[in-house]
């Protein structure tokens, strides 16, 4: 993994800013990180443990993916997603809302899920996963007067821990882990880790290369994150990248290059 980590170090140095990165090769168990325990504003990456906590509540019989919930006017917030533009009173299933939260990073959907299971329930779930530096303080896109003085926090290592459990089938349950990863593979925001790969290698199986990525991005001013599991043929790697403190386009470009070099590292090892 040394050649890969050297490339990534050069990429982040060129981009400047502060980086938290955790990588794990799921074939060799090699692990590398820089600033793995440094806390960042979680942005939309917090939606991954929220999704997992909802699946835990479902496993406990508190809810079901097929339950209908009503889109409430008081939960409509701006930023990413389509629900903010839909008619209050619209009915959706829990599964629909979770999917929108993950693949479109829908903030209204996120707040609906927080309201469904409760902020303290989600935080308790996060703590039980061993995510020592991840904190859910607020719903998303709230006006300043309704927010805690703290922002939601997470680290690259915490996300690696969660993603490894999901990949291994031990996050909530084997079935739930599979469902969550399938949702993440449907991600529609592709401006970071997969951006440069998909131009040369359309996702799916073509010309002897099969690859896909289950991931979740996060984006606020001068922050860009992307965390996920990259699958290339029979190889897999967890890539958890958090960044801040530089121009957004430079951070995005650097994360895209990290995805590209990781892809070629796995591909060339075949």
- For the cut 90, the answer to whether the pLDDT of residue 230 exceeds it is yes
**Does this model's pTM top 0.85?**
yes
Instruction: Please state the rounded mean pLDDT for residues 77-89.
Output: 92
Rounded CA separation 143/145 (Å): 6
Domain hosting 220: range is: 2-268
Count of structural domains within the chain: 1
Q: How confident is the model at residue 206 (pLDDT cuts 50, 70, 90)?
A: low
- For the cut 70, the answer to whether the pLDDT of residue 122 exceeds it is yes
Is residue 192 a contact partner of residue 259, using CB atoms and an 8 Å limit? yes
Which residues on neighbouring strands pair with residue 21, listed in sequence order? 34, 241
CATH classification of the domain holding 18: 3.40.710.10
Q: Give tens-digit pLDDT for 52-82.
A: 999 999 999 999 999 999 999 988 998 888 9
Number of H helices, E strands in the chain: 9, 10
- Pick from 3-12, 147-156, 172-181, 256-265: least confident: 147-156
Rounded CA separation 244/229 (Å): 21
Rounded CA separation 234/211 (Å): 9
């Amino acid at each position: 993994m040394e050649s890969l980590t050297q490339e990534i170090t050069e990429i982040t140095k060129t981009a400047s800013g502060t980086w938290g990165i955790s990588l794990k090769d799921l074939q060799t168990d090699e692990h590398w990180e820089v600033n793995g325990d440094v806390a960042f504003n979680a942005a939309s990456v917090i939606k991954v443990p929220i999704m997992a906590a909802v699946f835990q509540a479902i496993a406990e019989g508190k809810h079901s993916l097929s339950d209908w919930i009503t889109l409430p006017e008081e939960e409509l917030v701006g930023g990413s997603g389509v629900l903010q533009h839909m008619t209050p009173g619209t009915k959706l299933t829990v599964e629909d809302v979770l999917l929108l939260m993950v693949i479109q990073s829908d903030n209204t959907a996120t707040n609906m899920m927080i309201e469904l299971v409760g902020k303290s329930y989600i935080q308790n779930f996060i703590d039980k996963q061993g995510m020592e530096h991840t904190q859910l303080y607020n719903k998303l896109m709230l006006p300043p007067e309704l927010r805690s003085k703290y922002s939601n926090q997470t680290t690259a290592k915490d996300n690696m821990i969660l993603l490894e459990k999901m990949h291994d089938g031990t996050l909530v349950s084997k079935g739930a882990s599979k469902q969550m990863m399938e949702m993440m593979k449907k991600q529609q925001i592709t401006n970071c880790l997969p951006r440069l790969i998909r131009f040369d290698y359309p996702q799916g199986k073509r010309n002897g290369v099969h690859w896909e990525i289950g991931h979740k991005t996060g984006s606020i001013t001068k922050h860009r994150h992307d965390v996920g599991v990259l699958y290339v043929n029979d190889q897999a790697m967890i890539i958890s990248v958090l960044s801040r403190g530089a121009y957004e386009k430079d951070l995005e470009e650097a994360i895209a290059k990290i995805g590209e070099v990781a892809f070629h590292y796995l591909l060339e090892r075949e």
